[in-house]
């Protein structure tokens, strides 16, 4: 498949296709068990975003054997397995190398019906855009590094990043979703840009409807915006017009790179109400309708 | 006070600046950084602490110059802070004078003959400097943003004003409307919220 999705799809038969994806990174939280959980939720997310169900996984580990206690690695792997179990995915094995810098992630394989694959292409005029997790993990992680985040805030973002997109995906597959992606390194607007670039559609984002992690806006106002958010803005800024009254800090949060972010999907307007009810009933509580698709400004994103 | 935060990744430049501001409350400071993201972050942080900032530079060297603005509204009840900031002759003289904001929404002066209007505008901009220290900020909106592009007859004058610490603000929405975002040669891009806030802070607003 030719789109810029993070996972690859291979059709095996008329009713089965494989989704394969891999993702790994350096620690973003201090606790090794939590890091394992977050890395696993993040790796599994690509499968969910394409409408699939994860089935098997392989661990990828880079570990500084000389300078770090093996107990740390055990905790990381235990965290990963915890999330794999939650998702119903079987760990088949893995591979590790010695490295100066610790890294962990997984390669994940999932199943999907070839006719039910969701990609980041296919938005239609009139669709509403739905986001299932609040934004701001990049800014919050910067605040954590700066030693300015409270214990409660750290706890909150850790749980948020370790939360699987499984429940949101399960609901999503029951609705006529036109396109879907998970919000990760490019930030909300960066991933949206991929959804509309080169298409006949543009989108309008209602900035006051976008769910934000509590405290993230204040930290962004303070200047704790990660470099990735600026790079995302430089890269896609040309496609985006931001309303005059939007504060720069809010704009930066819309470009903030997310770790294990939520699903971003397009849904026909007449089904949005039912979709939102179903997501809330399933406990995907931060879900919000954040924008709409139209053919007025093809390939453009307007933030109002 | 000078801070060299080059070679440091986010959020270190902001933290170094924060430490310096918390500890010494300098009336002026400059911060050197090596990337644009840090320029925005440090400038934004200083803004929340009542500093006015300007930045220059390119490539891997950027300098943010900050001056404590005594009459900031950002920190109500911060009189103690303001008083503890060392006296600064330049700031003082600026504080005693007026703060005149000139809002220019056109590239020509008045209606009637367009050629005449253009000549008048050139003459107006060139003469504005006579206001001296009272001239605080030039805000260019709508057709006015065209005065900041390469073939503008007043480009050099505007640059000279900017060197004299008169801030030149250029409306971002207008630049993008005319597709001139990359053509702007002078001034900093601004938005309506900043313009409105500046109008409130100004002692006098002249609209053209």
pLDDT for A147-197, tens place per residue?
899 999 999 999 999 999 999 999 999 999 999 999 999 999 999 999 999
Tell me: do A59 and A186 sit in the same domain.
Answer: no
Torsion of CA A77, A82, A85, A86, to 10 degrees: -140
Average pLDDT over residues A247-260: 96
Tell me: do A188 and A299 sit in the same domain.
Answer: yes
What tokens appear for B116 in the block?
């005449």
Domain end: A116, A147, A165, which one? A116
- Look at residue A27 and tell me if it is in a domain: yes
CA distance B78 to chain A (A): 18
**Is 0.85 exceeded by the ipTM?**
no
Q: Which residues of B touch A249 (CB under 8 A)?
A: 44
Domain end: A116, A150, A176, which one? A116
pTM (2 decimals)?
A: 0.70
Confidence of residue B70 (pLDDT cuts 50, 70, 90): low
> Of B42, B43, B191, which is closest to A244 when you measure between CB atoms?
B191
Q: Where are the alpha helices (DSSP H) in chain A?
A: 32-49, 70-87, 137-145, 151-162, 166-172, 187-196, 216-221, 227-236, 248-254, 269-281
Domain end: A116, A138, A173, which one? A116
Which domain range does residue A290 map to? 128-303
The rounded distance, in Å, linking the Cα atoms of B70 and B129 is 24
Nearest alpha-carbon partner for A103 in A7, A21, A32: A32
- Look at residue A65 and tell me if it is in a domain: yes
Q: Which residues of A touch B40 (CB under 8 A)?
A: 223, 225, 230, 248
Question: Domains along chain B?
Answer: 2-87 (3.30.110.40), 97-207 (3.40.1260.10)
Q: Are B72 and B35 in contact (CB under 8 A)?
A: no
Q: Is B192 exposed, middle or buried (0-12, 13-18, 19+ CB in 10 A)?
A: middle
Residue B33 has pLDDT above 90, yes or no: yes
Tell me: do A64 and A134 sit in the same domain.
Answer: no
Tell me: do A294 and A274 sit in the same domain.
Answer: yes
Tell me: do A181 and A105 sit in the same domain.
Answer: no
Q: Residue A88: which CATH number?
A: 3.30.1330.10
Tell me: do A159 and A32 sit in the same domain.
Answer: no
Look at A244 and B48 and tell me if their CB atoms are within 8 Å: no
Question: What is the length of chain B?
Answer: 208
Beta bridge partners of B66: B29, B53
Tell me: do A99 and A248 sit in the same domain.
Answer: no
Please report the number of interchain residue pairs, chain A to chain B, with beta-carbon separation below 8 angstroms: 60
Tell me: do A146 and A101 sit in the same domain.
Answer: no
**Which chain B residues touch A if contact means CB-CB below 8 Å?**
9-11, 14-15, 35-38, 40-45, 48, 172-173, 176, 191-193
Confidence of residue B88 (pLDDT cuts 50, 70, 90): very low
Say what the pLDDT of residue A4 is: 53
Nearest alpha-carbon partner for A88 in A61, A108, A113: A108
CA distance B60 to chain A (A): 14
- Look at residue A1 and tell me if it is in a domain: no
Interface of A with B in 180-199 (CB under 8 A): none
């Amino acid at each position: 498949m030719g789109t810029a999705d993070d996972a690859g799809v291979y059709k095996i038969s008329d009713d089965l296709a494989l989704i394969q994806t891999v993702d790994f990174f350096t620690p973003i939280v201090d606790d090794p068990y939590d890091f394992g959980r977050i890395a696993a939720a993040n790796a599994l997310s690509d499968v969910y975003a394409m409408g699939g169900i994860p089935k098997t996984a392989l661990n990828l580990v880079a570990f500084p054997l000389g300078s770090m206690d093996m107990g740390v690695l055990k905790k990381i792997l235990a965290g990963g397995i915890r999330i794999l179990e939650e998702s119903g995915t079987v760990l088949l094995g893995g591979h590790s190398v010695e490295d100066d810098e610790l890294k962990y992630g997984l390669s994940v394989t999932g199943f999907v019906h070839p006719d039910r694959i969701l990609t980041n292409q296919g938005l239609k005029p009139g669709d509403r855009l739905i986001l299932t997790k609040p934004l701001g993990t990049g800014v919050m992680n910067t605040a954590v590094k700066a030693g300015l985040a409270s214990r409660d805030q750290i706890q909150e973002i850790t749980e948020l990043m370790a939360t699987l997109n499984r429940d949101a995906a399960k609901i999503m597959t029951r609705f006529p979703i036109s396109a879907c992606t998970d919000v990760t390194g490019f930030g909300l607007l960066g991933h949206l840009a991929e959804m509309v670039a080169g298409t006949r559609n543009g989108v309008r984002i209602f900035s006051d409807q976008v769910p934000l992690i509590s405290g993230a806006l204040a930290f962004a106002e303070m200047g704790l915006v990660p470099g990735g958010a600026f790079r995302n803005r430089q890269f896609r800024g040309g496609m985006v017009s931001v309303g005059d009254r939007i504060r720069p800090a809010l704009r930066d949060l819309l470009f903030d790179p997310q770790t294990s972010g939520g699903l971003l999907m397009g849904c026909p307007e007449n089904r949005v109400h039912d979709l939102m009810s179903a997501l809330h009933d399933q406990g995907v509580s931060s879900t919000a309708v954040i924008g709409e698709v139209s053919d007025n400004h093809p390939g453009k994103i307007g933030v109002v | 006070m000078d801070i060299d935060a080059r070679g440091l990744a986010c959020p270190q430049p902001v933290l170094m600046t924060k430490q310096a501001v918390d500890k010494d409350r300098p009336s002026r400071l400059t911060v050197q950084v090596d990337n644009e993201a840090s320029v925005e972050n440090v400038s934004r942080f200083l803004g929340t602490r009542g500093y006015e900032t300007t930045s220059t530079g390119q490539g891997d060297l950027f300098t943010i110059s900050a001056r404590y603005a005594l009459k900031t509204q950002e920190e109500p009840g911060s009189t103690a802070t303001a008083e503890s900031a060392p006296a600064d002759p330049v700031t003082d003289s600026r504080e005693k004078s007026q703060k005149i904001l000139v809002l220019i929404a056109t590239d020509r002066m008045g209606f009637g003959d367009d050629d005449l209007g253009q000549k008048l505008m050139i003459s107006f901009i060139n003469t504005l400097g006579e206001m001296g220290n009272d001239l605080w900020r030039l805000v260019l909106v709508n057709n006015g943003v065209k005065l900041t592009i390469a073939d503008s007859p007043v480009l050099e004058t505007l640059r000279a004003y900017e060197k004299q610490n008169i801030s030149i603000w250029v409306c971002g929405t207008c630049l993008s409307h005319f597709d001139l975002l990359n053509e702007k040669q002078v001034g900093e891009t601004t938005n309506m919220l900043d313009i409105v806030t500046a109008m409130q802070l100004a002692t006098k607003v002249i609209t053209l």
